[in-house]
Amino acid sequence: MFATGRQLGTGRLMSKPRFSDQREAPGRRDPAASRRRALLAIPALGVLVLILLWTVIFARLSVEKEATYREAMASAAILSAALEQHTIKAIHQVDQITRFVKYEFEKTPGHFDLASTVEKGVVQSKTLVQVSLIDEHGKLIANTAELNPKRIDLSDREHFKVHEHENDDQLYISKPVLGRVSGHWTLQMTRRLNHPDGSFAGVVVVSEDPSYFTSDFYNNAAIGREGVIAVISDNGTVLARRTGNVVNATGTFSASGSYPTSEHVSGTYVDSIDNVTRIVSYRHIDGYPLGVLVGLSQAEEFADYNHTRNVYLLMAGFISLAMLSFFAVATGLIGKLLGREREMTHLVEYDLLTGLRNRYATLRTLRQEVAQPANRGKLEWTAAVVGCFALFFAHTAPPLMC
């Protein structure tokens, strides 16, 4: 009875700590490991915040850059549409002059007087250099610049040859040429003249200053210091061009280059004449072999955006440095705390004199071993063996021992 009681009591005493350890084992955590994970989490959090910050900054800059480009393209498109209407109006004025002269000449070819025709007020353009008549042999026969002009041979001029071989009633616009009569760079806008039988009778030539297409328009359009407006033919020849606030003297022409035909579309291009990158809007003029081009300097149009971008990047840089400093200090402090904790743990678990683990460390290690699931079977088997020995000694021991 007493043995049995001791057996049961011993069993209860042995089993209670075992189940208590089993209940407490899952709740135990290594505080040092948690702190080490926190030490790694702080720099990781800092890197994540920095990545998020720079992602937002670049996304915002991308949106603003796209908006700036769209605004510049819209401005260039509006200006090119206005230049198109201005150019059409200017061409129509010249076209009316050539049609009127052609009509008067073909009505009375033997009695036509160019000077009297001009006196009727048909020629009113301020940029008009002269109106000339060339006979079927290419000789200059009349000119508004002088009453009795020299019979200069102009049969080699392109604007004469094109009408000599083509019997049509189209207005021809030549590339800028240096006039042999005026001595100025001019655009030759010409129309064919016919005899009563329809044969070639010559050409009426209206010579205009290249600024005819750009000077009046530019006064009403702000294209910037590096912007450009131009009238170009379908083959890329520059007929008229003005850049920024540069004003060419009358009869001069500085844009003797040409634009590739592949650039006769809207977009961003490097100007083939002055190598300035511009946002370009191009419009072709229906009914004529030419188009108009307005280019806004990319550097000028993106000046505000570049300033905003620099401010954003500077602010983000300062914020990044501040955050890096904060996380570096925080990581350093936590590292120091962990180091102090390790020192305190060493003082608690090890004897200062011998350097060996003390009873606290031993009990702690024992509890950890007992809490391991792999050791539970061994502990139960050991408890069973101890219980058997206890029963054996309880039955075989002398009464006094019981």
Read off the pLDDT of residues 219-251 as tens digits, 9 standing for 90 and up.
Answer: 555 788 888 888 988 888 888 888 876 555 444
142, part of any domain: no
pLDDT score, position 17 = 44
Stretch 151-165: mean pLDDT, rounded? 87
What is the rounded distance in angstroms from the CA atom of residue 23 to the CA atom of residue 25? Answer: 6
pLDDT, tens digit, 9 for 90 and up, residues 31-63: 556 666 766 777 788 889 899 999 999 999 999
pLDDT digits (tens, 9 = 90+) for 279-300: 999 999 988 888 999 999 999 9
Higher-scoring residue by pLDDT: 247, 353: 353
Tokens of 385: 């063996």
Q: Is residue 105 part of a domain?
A: no
Mean pLDDT, all residues of the chain: 77
In the predicted structure, residue 16 carries a pLDDT above the cut 60: no
Per the domain annotation, does 51 fall within a domain?
Answer: yes
Tell me whether residue 29 is in a domain: yes
Residue 255, domain member (yes or no) = no
Domain of residue 370 covers 2-60+315-396
Q: Report the percent of the chain where pLDDT is more than 90.
A: 20
d(CA 312, CA 314): 5
384 falls within a domain: yes
DSSP string, 38-61: HHHHHHHHHHHHHHHHHHHHHHHH
Query: Hey, what amino acid is at 298?
Result: Q
Place of tokens 């009990």: 363
Judged against a pLDDT cut of 70, whether residue 5 lies above it is answered with: no
What does the pLDDT read at residue 57?
A: 93
**Mean pLDDT calculated for residue range 103-117:** 80
Q: Into how many domains does the chain fold?
A: 1
Structural domain includes residue 281: no
- Categorize the per-residue pLDDT at 177 as very low, low, confident or very high, splitting at 50, 70 and 90: confident
